[in-house]
Structure 1
Amino acid sequence: MKSKFNVFLLSFAHLTHDIYTSFLAPVLPLLIQKLGISVTEASLLDVVRRIPALFNPYLGLMVSKKDLRIFTILTPVTTAVFMSLIGIAPNYIILLILLFLAGISAQIFHIATPGIVKEVTPKMGFGMSMFMVGGELARTIAPLIATAAISIWGLEGLLKTVFFAFFASAFLWWKLKDIKGNFKPKTKQKADFKIFIEYKKFFLIISGFIFFQSFAKIFFAFYLPLYLTHIGESLNKANISLAFFQFFAIVGTFLAGNIGDKFGYKKTLIFSTLIAIISMPLFIYFKLIYLPLVFLGLSLFSTGPVMLSIIHHQKNSTALNGVYMMLAFLIPAVVTFLIGVFSDLIGLERVGILSFMFLIISLIFAYKIKRKFFTLNNVKVKI
């Protein structure tokens, strides 16, 4: 049943789920201190959390055989349990295991739920933007929740926040069980290899775009608290800055899909990248914090709903989404690790400069997106 309420409900599911996956960045400085690990080892934490993205095409095929609502209901609480345990992990290996298990649950959620959004949204761009807004709002709230929990109960206090996920999953079951719709793909889904071959040019171009843009995105979304504490700011101010950045990411995420529907998806990608290119030097070179974070938040996270809108206009959208989610999670994992390695070698401040240079290169890949990529299967999409 197509309705805005159902879209908001799925955005709430995304919010609940991603609050817990977003705990890692704000507690990273404390984990480094507690376990005595390097920045490179710390970067591997997020890499391990994203490794299950390698299985996304297969998870996409598996998920497409079941009622998608099952996964949307169960994965928030599953992810929450594993992520809430990171504060009491006794050593680095246990921490890696917890993050890997949380990563599997997270991949299943992000594959299944957009398929439900597709069925219930009145308009694709609106639906995908609202769905992504839930994720960005989670990344805004998570640093504040983590900071509050740590202030009251210590690092181990993250575990006490898990009750909310149980409540949320029960609420989702209550609301989603009676929604009418076809929550299995209407067409037979092709295997991931065939999908990649058929859409190889599109995937190669967006892979380049994701790779080069991810340096700037991850620098701010994951390493911002570490960077700010490194240059002398307090952890509280660093996490507040992260929440501030993520708040404007919500706005950018909401606007992007609607702007893409009206003016074209390629134009939206190019325009948002240009805004980020103009804004980033204010942070890196002029040491401003809040003003550039406004524009960086608006621009860097606007690409997600645009890509999802494109993919879910297509036939075989669930399998396509599996390949896209694999790229969208795996490429940033590689970049997260590279930033960690480069930070130990040349320092986090110089990595910021490198990220700016790569952001400029990502603009080239945005320009390479062709109209034919948006007219596959006779579906006309404005670019």
Structure 2
Amino acid sequence: MWISVAKTRLNRRVFALTGPGTASKLRDIHKGGTPLSSIADSRKATLVTVTVLPVLLAVSLVHLLNDSMQAVVPAMFTILEESLHLTYTQVGWILFALNMTSSVMQPVVGSYTDRRSSPYMMPFGMGLSLLGMVGIAYAPNFWYVLLAVVFIGLGSAIFHPEGSRIVYLAAGGRRGFAQSVYQVGGNAGSSLAPLMTVYIFAPLGQIGAAWGTILAALAIAVLLVLAPWYKKRLADWEELKAQRRASSKPGVLPGQETSHPRVKFAMGLLIFLVFARSWYHASISSFYQFFLKNDYGLTTEQAQIPLFLFLAAGVVGTFFGGVMADRFGMKNTIVFSIAGGAPLALALPYLPLFWVYPLITVLGFIILSGFSVTVVYAQFLMPSKVGMASGLTTGLAFGMGAIGAVALGKASDLFGLTDVMRFCSFLPLVGLLAILLPSDRETRKAS
């Protein structure tokens, strides 16, 4: 019952946001005052001009729930290390399995949905994540945990490209803002990992992961409410693309721009930059808590505070990154986000504990301020392949970062965690290569 009521309210709100005069135009049909074709043109104009905020907030909520379920995995590391006697290498393999399935499959899903999208794929993916939550709660050994996180990863891989497509269709003319609203949800979900460790997993132990099934059930309910709007919007968008193909110049087909050498170079460099950021992010989100316990003598609960500050500041940085991109340009924001945090990252492993808290907060804001901007930049480079562009920047690049998680875990076992964390502090310097990216004008020209 509540789903039907919510669906009716959402449809009314979206209808109200489709532009001034639309309702009166529909009434005029019966009076013969407005041709049906002009109303269709008006409706399609909203696809590129009107931002549908209720839809953005709804999909951002689902993003929060999805990434909260993913956050359960690293949040459980210290618990699983004790209950299942895991090594750092096994911790790295668990993170690898999660990120590889949730990331490498994203471009595959995105490529498929670019050709044939289905609004009901996302609830199915959340069902897989639900099974993964149950699996972690009752896993008797390392291999069962590994299988469970694969289910969670597959559910995330199905959601992310389709979620980005909903944002693309609901963004109107505010791409940077819309993507930031969406990514804020995801980063907020990831930032809950330390809090879940303190208030759920530390008191309850491994069985506490079963609470993640509530997150999955809520996400499925919201997605079922969104599905009718998404289905209708997709139909309008396909019709608009068909009109553009019909009016395009002979010999120039939509999608050809992605084969241009300049576009290939930019996409390759962008993926490499996200790859480096993912390695550094993995070092903080997964291994920094162990570094704090070993080098500073903190307890499991105390080690979550700096980690939470980093992730929570990243949520704020993600939102303002989109605002900065609209004001100062996408390329400038990307350069600032990856390279701007390099001095702070280099200092972090050597600071007294008192200074760790403010510095890691600022570092989280800067590093993640370009998170949503890289997705929008990729979509401008590949305007006819939105799902693929989103999958490459938020999926494949993070999968490459998952390899870093395994390498970091193995290196920590061999050389010591302290030396590994000091090595990782140099990774943000790779962001200086962002200077070589094409300017915003060139990317918008491609779009």
With normalisation by structure 1, the TM-score equals: 0.89
2:228 corresponding residue in structure 1: 177
Give the SS at the match of 1:289: helix
How many equivalent pairs are there? 376
1:68-147 → structure 2 map (5 Å cutoff): 68-122=118-172, 123-147=174-198
1:238 aligns with 2:303: yes
2:433 corresponding residue in structure 1: 365
CA positional deviation for 1:205? 1.1
Amino acid at match of 1:290: Y
1:153 aligns with 2:217: no
1:42 corresponding residue in structure 2: 91
The answer to whether the 8 Å contact 1:213/1:359 transfers is yes
Amino acid at match of 2:187: E
The answer to whether the 8 Å contact 1:3/1:120 transfers is yes
Which deviates the most, 246-255 or 340-349? 340-349
Give the SS at the match of 2:98: helix
Paired with 2:260 and 2:138, the residues of 1 have a C-alpha distance of 41
CA positional deviation for 1:201? 0.8
1:219 corresponding residue in structure 2: 283
Deviations 1:205-237 (A, max 9, x none): 123312333332211122222222223211111
Query: Kindly tell me: are residues 354 and 130 of structure 1, through their superposed partners in 2, closer, same or farther at Cα, counting changes over 3 Å?
Result: same
Query: Kindly tell me: are residues 374 and 217 of structure 1, through their superposed partners in 2, closer, same or farther at Cα, counting changes over 3 Å?
Result: farther
Paired with 2:214 and 2:386, the residues of 1 have a C-alpha distance of 34
Give the SS at the match of 2:90: helix
Paired with 2:415 and 2:267, the residues of 1 have a C-alpha distance of 32
Paired with 1:168 and 1:334, the residues of 2 have a C-alpha distance of 29
Paired with 1:204 and 1:175, the residues of 2 have a C-alpha distance of 34
Amino acid at match of 1:165: A
CA positional deviation for 1:372? 7.8
Match of 2:265 among 176, 182, 201: 201
Query: Kindly tell me: are residues 346 and 9 of structure 1, through their superposed partners in 2, closer, same or farther at Cα, counting changes over 3 Å?
Result: same
Deviations 1:150-186 (A, max 9, x none): 2443221211341232133213312443454126764
CA positional deviation for 1:64? 3.0
Match of 1:307 among 367, 370, 374: 374
1:336 aligns with 2:405: yes
Give the SS at the match of 2:192: helix
Query: Kindly tell me: are residues 19 and 84 of structure 1, through their superposed partners in 2, closer, same or farther at Cα, counting changes over 3 Å?
Result: farther
The answer to whether the 8 Å contact 1:23/1:143 transfers is no
2:361 corresponding residue in structure 1: 294
**Identity value in percent:** 21
CA root-mean-square deviation: 2.6
Give the SS at the match of 1:37: coil
Match of 2:318 among 237, 243, 253: 253
The answer to whether the 8 Å contact 1:216/1:355 transfers is yes
Amino acid at match of 1:169: I
Amino acid at match of 1:333: A
The answer to whether the 8 Å contact 2:127/2:155 transfers is no
With normalisation by structure 2, the TM-score equals: 0.77
Paired with 1:84 and 1:236, the residues of 2 have a C-alpha distance of 24
Paired with 2:107 and 2:117, the residues of 1 have a C-alpha distance of 17
The answer to whether the 8 Å contact 1:270/1:367 transfers is yes
Which deviates the most, 98-107 or 147-156? 147-156
Query: Kindly tell me: are residues 205 and 291 of structure 1, through their superposed partners in 2, closer, same or farther at Cα, counting changes over 3 Å?
Result: same
CA positional deviation for 1:38? 1.7
1:350 corresponding residue in structure 2: 419
Paired with 2:254 and 2:157, the residues of 1 have a C-alpha distance of 19
Paired with 1:103 and 1:190, the residues of 2 have a C-alpha distance of 32
Unaligned runs of 5+ in 1: none
Query: Kindly tell me: are residues 247 and 67 of structure 1, through their superposed partners in 2, closer, same or farther at Cα, counting changes over 3 Å?
Result: same
CA positional deviation for 1:86? 1.4
The answer to whether the 8 Å contact 1:76/1:165 transfers is yes
Deviations 1:109-152 (A, max 9, x none): 11111001010123100010011000111012233134322244
Give the SS at the match of 2:131: helix
Give the SS at the match of 2:425: helix
CA positional deviation for 1:348? 1.5
Unaligned runs of 5+ in 2: 1-13, 15-50, 246-252
Paired with 2:151 and 2:212, the residues of 1 have a C-alpha distance of 18
Query: Kindly tell me: are residues 154 and 54 of structure 1, through their superposed partners in 2, closer, same or farther at Cα, counting changes over 3 Å?
Result: closer
Higher gyration radius (CA): 2
Paired with 1:216 and 1:319, the residues of 2 have a C-alpha distance of 24
Match of 1:54 among 104, 122, 134: 104
Match of 1:264 among 316, 319, 329: 329
CA positional deviation for 1:282? 3.8
Deviations 1:54-110 (A, max 9, x none): 333332222234445323334334324303431321111111111112211111111
CA positional deviation for 1:270? 1.7
Amino acid at match of 1:220: I
The answer to whether the 8 Å contact 1:17/1:80 transfers is no
The answer to whether the 8 Å contact 2:197/2:301 transfers is no
The answer to whether the 8 Å contact 2:176/2:376 transfers is yes
Deviations 1:30-74 (A, max 9, x none): 212222222112101111112233333332222234445323334
Paired with 2:92 and 2:80, the residues of 1 have a C-alpha distance of 12
